[in-house]
Amino acid sequence: MDAPVLDVKPLRCLAPIFPGPFGYNAFPPSNSSPYASPFGAPPFTPMFTPVFPAAVSPISHTQSKQTPQVSNGAPTATGSVPESKSPAAPTADVCESPSPEKKESPIQPGPSVGKKRGSARKGKQTPEPGSSTMTPEPGSSTMTPKPGSSTMTPGMTESSQRGHKRRAYKKSSGSGTMLFGVEDGDREAVFRVLMTFDGLRRRILQIDDTKAATPGSSKRPDLKAGTLMMTNGYRTNSKKRVGVVPGIEIGDLFYFRFEMCLVGLHSQSMAGIDYMPVKFDKEEEQVALSIVSSGVYEDDDMGNPDILIYSGQGGHSTPGKQVNDQKLERGNLALQNSSSRANEIRVIRGMKDVTNPGCKIYMYDGLYKIQDSWIEKGKSGFSVFKYKLMRVQGQPEGIAVWKKTRQWKDNPSSRGFVILNDLSYGVEKLPVCVVNEVDTDKGPAHFSYVDTVLHQKTMKVSLGCKCYNSCSPSDVSCQCGKQNGDLPPYSSTGVLANQKPLVYECGSTCMCSQICRNRVSQKGTKIHFEVFKTKGKGWGLRSWGPIRAGSFICEYTGEIVDSVELDDENEANDYMFDPSNCERNFVEWNCNNELLVEQKPAEPEEEKSSLLSFGINANNNGNVSRFMNHSCSPNVFWQPVLYDHDDERYPHIMFFAMKHIPPMTELTYDYDFYKASERLTINQIRIDNSRPGFSV
DNA sequence: GAAACGTCATCTTA
DNA sequence: CTAAGATGACGTTT
């Protein structure tokens, strides 16, 4: 039970594992707080969420410190609402900022790879180029009530008029309790929570996959992962609040509703309207905090990115089918109150994922205010509440970025500042345009675009599997499956489950077809890239579309060289990918699998990645990867993959997304994993094999 | 009052 | 398409 807690770093949950009810692991009971020693803090009771050491958020200045009472953080004055000035603007530079202990400047060329040297930039980060104001002025539209619609007045229905007391935040019953609340997280904490959630979810999915034969046994890995996080209190911003949420920026993406719950953006796991009681003078009133517009109701964006027409909740028996009039209660009432109180409401827009239909992407679109509300008859003839929300001015672009990029995709010539239409000259399926919005540079120096690595010697080809059509994760006879260990590396949608020393994809000698789920990175990139001139870091790389965490981005192509040829002084090494200095290629991406008790052999792997002793020279031949800059707070990592030959000394270097990456966000990876690994503690945590385990 | 327990509304996800 | 989900809100009992 007393697994040693190793090298505790603030943002991580390092508590030893305790078996909880239902196979969940819980953190130790309150009287043995794991925090006592590491932080020198007194043990706290489960009553209070521990204050997170790094909790002083640089952006929480707009937000008064939340006390257990609701009173502040909420509007202080009657009627008038806190104008939190420039809500998200100051957060712009948080994105790439290193964790507090680090001294290096956020983004700079990696020490080991001399790429784009001399352009390191100190100090202040400049906002994205492109984020300059090109939003239309929507303010001109006057607030005339909708024709033919009755205006609502608060209190027009009976229900729920009793003054609600703010209840103490309900702690999960059971053994879990809120031991590890990460209160008022900063951006780093938000990332941590999200990465942990998704790591957990992918892991559960992966385990589920191998048990394909048991029908009905297990579904919804998202809910399982979310529940685990919740019961262990592994969340941040767990107190509700009006307005800006620390650590969350406009444009942030979410692929599950639960993700938004865990970081305090929208705490309803299903309902579209989140609200809480707020004190105005003497009265307490429910006001809306955030809404998710997900298209179940007949929401409409009117084509104007700053306006959202939102439908109230209720009246539906099955989703999509309205069978009753909506009532002015719950979320609808809260929205109505928010309309008169004019408080800011966070808006999350849900959209179809074009690359993965059936999947939804949620994007935080910033603060809005309700401008108008009315009742109208829905398609089914029942009453529906309608709310017209107007985006608060002065915020960075949100959904507008999406609209822009979508337009560019349809019509690439509408993209301005283009220097070159297709850097790949047709090699990539999608053109890679080169843009410069910041200076007069006419483009990067010439190189030949290749979409594969160039070997000097011929590589021998491995013997493949004999699966028919597609390899099945539950098929123990699959040769490729064996090589990968007991669990499949990719989900059925091609998302990498976790980082490994080496992934074995099926290859040309395999009998399975191209639809095999064990063929992912070999098929090449599906991302619509853009090479752009950064401010101060030379050329950079970004995507027009959103990228889901774990999905394949691209390969690092170029000429394979032996590491002995590497020489930092050589200019030719500017575009050298050098994995040899990476003691351990594990980022924190697999993190917190220890929330699951697994009967896996303890990681025997580690060694292989440090054996990599080649380099990839992209100076003369390369692809978009050579433009990816370094960051200590990266959103991309690399993963060795083997598929077309047998030689484990020369795997392909494939890049995958560490986090969900919004459109037009620069893609960066950590050039020097060795340093990164020093920040790691997660892999040092002992996994308790003796425990029965979380049954999935 | 506070805490514990019970039920309902919500609609997402596979 | 359908049904199983988890949470928080709200209501009732201890």
pLDDT tens-place string over residues A406-460: 899 999 999 999 999 999 999 999 999 999 999 999 999 999 999 999 988 888 8
- pLDDT band of residue A233 (cuts 50, 70, 90) is confident
Q: What percent of chain A has pLDDT over 90?
A: 34
Neighbouring-strand partners of residue A235 = A181
A369 pLDDT higher than 90:
yes
Q: In this complex, which protein residues place their C-beta within 7 A of any atom belonging to strand B?
A: A 168, 173, 219-222, 255-258, 269-273, 292, 294-296, 313-316, 319, 330-331, 350, 358-360
Chain A 201-220 residues in 7 Å CB range of strand C: 216, 219-220
CA A488/CA A483 separation, integer angstroms: 10
The two tokens of residue A47 are 């009553």
As a whole number, the mean pLDDT across chain A is 70
pLDDT tens-place string over residues A257-314: 999 999 999 999 888 999 998 888 777 888 999 999 876 665 555 578 899 999 888 8
Q: What percent of chain A has pLDDT over 70?
A: 62
Q: Which nucleotide is nearest to A228 (CA to C1')?
A: C6
Give the mean model confidence (pLDDT) for residues A4-21.
29
Q: Is strand C less than 7 A from the beta carbon of A321?
A: no
Are the CB atoms for A686 and A595 separated by under 8 Å? no
CA A3/CA A315 separation, integer angstroms: 52
Q: Of the segments A115-129, A298-312, A320-334, A431-445, which one has the largest average pLDDT value?
A: A431-445
pLDDT, residue A473, reads: 79
Instruction: From the CA of A217 to the C1' of B14: give the distance in Å.
Output: 12
pLDDT, residue A563, reads: 65
pLDDT tens-place string over residues A61-114: 333 333 333 333 333 333 333 333 333 333 323 333 333 333 333 333 333 333
The residue among A541 and A377 whose pLDDT is bigger is A541
Q: Would you say the C-alpha torsion A287, A293, A295, A299 has a positive or negative sign? A: positive
Instruction: From the CA of A583 to the C1' of B14: give the distance in Å.
Output: 39
Instruction: From the CA of A329 to the C1' of C3: give the distance in Å.
Output: 27
Give the mean model confidence (pLDDT) for residues A54-58.
30
Q: Which nucleotide is nearest to A295 (CA to C1')?
A: B11
| Residue of least CA–C1' distance to C7 | A269
The residue among A235 and A161 whose pLDDT is bigger is A235
pLDDT, residue A41, reads: 29
Instruction: From the CA of A634 to the C1' of B3: give the distance in Å.
Output: 45
Q: Which nucleotide is nearest to A491 (CA to C1')?
A: B14
Instruction: From the CA of A20 to the C1' of C12: give the distance in Å.
Output: 29
Closest by Cα among A367, A366, A371 to A389: A371
Give the mean model confidence (pLDDT) for residues A585-600.
59
| Residue of least CA–C1' distance to B12 | A270
pLDDT tens-place string over residues A173-187: 333 333 344 456 689
Torsion angles phi and psi, residue A496, rounded to 5: -65, 130
Q: Which nucleotides of B are covered by protein (CB under 7 A)?
A: 3, 5, 9-14
pLDDT, residue A458, reads: 81
A128 pLDDT higher than 70:
no
Ramachandran region, residue A358 (left: φ > 0; alpha: ψ -120 to 50; beta: rest): left
- pLDDT band of residue A383 (cuts 50, 70, 90) is confident
Q: Is strand C less than 7 A from the beta carbon of A357?
A: no
A39 pLDDT higher than 70:
no
Neighbours of A12 (CB within 10 A): 20
- pLDDT band of residue A461 (cuts 50, 70, 90) is confident
- pLDDT band of residue A657 (cuts 50, 70, 90) is very high
pLDDT tens-place string over residues A465-495: 888 888 887 787 888 888 888 788 998 889 9
| Long-range CB pairs of A500-503, under 8 A, 24+ apart, other chains included | A500/A605, A500/A639, A501/A585, A501/A605, A501/A606, A501/A607, A501/A608, A501/A609, A501/A640, A502/A608, A502/A609, A502/A640, A502/A641, A502/A642, A502/A648, A502/A651, A503/A639, A503/A640, A503/A641, A503/A642, A503/A654
pLDDT, residue A209, reads: 78
Q: Which nucleotides of C are covered by protein (CB under 7 A)?
A: 1-11
The residue among A57 and A278 whose pLDDT is bigger is A278
Judged by average pLDDT, the poorest of A136-140, A515-519, A681-685 is A681-685
Instruction: From the CA of A224 to the C1' of C6: give the distance in Å.
Output: 9
